[in-house]
Structure 1
């Protein structure tokens, strides 16, 4: 059944709801088609992490009752430049990480291990550290490419064939607007200055340069800048 909402020119737009409803629709579709409907619903976020199409963080959120939810993040700055099939492939890439956290044995830290690589291929995505044929299937930084005629390709055809599309695409301004409602952030330290980072789960602390991307190997949580 096609759950894409019927929106007309006179319909009041709700960008947040439309955006995340579409992501949930895609997740539900691939969860059923590729994972037997076994994956728990994550909380989707948009994150402009440099040189990253998306990432997965297990148990990153919890509700008022203490129930955890995984995070699947996508980078809106890169989505507008990519075909919808590639954006959906990134979603499934992160869903494989989610599957491994709940039903497998993740590699230490950011390591993409053999179990993850085999599940990727089962889902119809060929792991590759170059994003092209012949790349290494395991390692710290591993991308993928779509296997023609594979499970993902077939599932994506069905979803896209129903008219699925990303509801709202990022438009990059020529220059930042003055006082455009941004939350005020502290100026980034000058090059070479080190900052303290900590794991939100276990409190592990580390020092690194201001733009470092660190992950706690024990909790699989990104380390955040500590005050």
Structure 2
């Protein structure tokens, strides 16, 4: 009887384990691959902008997500080649650190901004590295993005560091609205925004770790604090 009881308990435990595992699998749902979710919409946007803003003239390019300080995006002509060297391609990079704060439409405007650089690289006359000349500014205005060094009306239309604002009802504005209406979305954005990171950094910088040179105890205080260890009577050093 004792042996039979142990067997029954084992069977019950095994059944319970299978039930728990089954429940966990159902609750977890299907695994989602973030790579195509992130890049497929950007590729579709490139194709749409190329066809409707640039007459389909732009060659395919590599779109990457790159963190670059103080840059929403950038264009690099002929940056990559295939492993066999047969194909050379341009790069357009977007800064994912800005996605959450800026939203889909403004990110799309950065993509279109960089496509203008690609257009000028292949069909125009770019100026020195980083400079946005009058040819670039004219093409921007043609597609419905108004160049401005401040990002607001009245700013300089050419210069070394340039941004833009969206012309209400312009070509880009209408095409971007149609893309978003058909489901374009930024699949993934950072869990913390740039503003939140600044607040956290400021909070960390407001406190300094001090250590007793004798007993090695730690204390945290403002950078100008004058602390003394209560056990050793030694001054704590940062």
TM-score (norm 1): 0.70
Q: 1:144 maps to what in 2?
A: 164
What's 1:31 paired with?
Answer: 50
- What do residues 127-186 of structure 1 show as CA deviations (whole Å, max 9, x unaligned)? 0001000000001011000001111001111101102101111223999xxxxxxxxxxx
CA distance in 2, matches of 1:31, 1:160: 17
SS at match of 1:144: strand
**What residue in structure 2 maps to residue 189 of structure 1?**
none
Kindly report which structure 2 residues correspond to 1:15-30, keeping only aligned pairs within 5 A, or say none.
Answer: 15-30=34-49
Secondary structure class of the residue paired with 1:109: coil
Structure 2 stretches lacking a partner, 5+ long: 1-27, 198-238
Residues 133 and 19 of structure 1: CA distance in aligned 2, closer, same or farther (over 3 Å): same
Pick from 124, 128, 139 the counterpart of residue 148 of structure 2.
128
The answer to whether 1:68 aligns with 2:79 is no
Structure 2 counterparts to residues 1-227 of structure 1, below 5 A: 10-66=29-85, 67-172=87-192
Displacement of 1:11 in angstroms is: 4.2
SS state of the match for residue 164, structure 2? strand
TM norm structure 2: 0.67
- Partner of 1:31, secondary structure, is helix
Gaps of 5+ in 1: 1-8, 176-227
Q: Which of structures 1 and 2 has the bigger CA Rg?
A: 2
Flag as ranges the 4+ runs of structure 1 deviating above 2 A. Answer: 9-12, 172-175
Equivalent residue pairs, number: 167
C-alpha RMSD over aligned residues: 1.7
Which structure is higher in helix share? 2
Q: Comparing both chains, which one has the higher relative contact order based on Cα–Cα distances under 8 Å and sequence gaps of 6 or more?
A: 1
Higher strand residue share = 1
**1-structure distance, mates of 2:181, 2:42:** 16
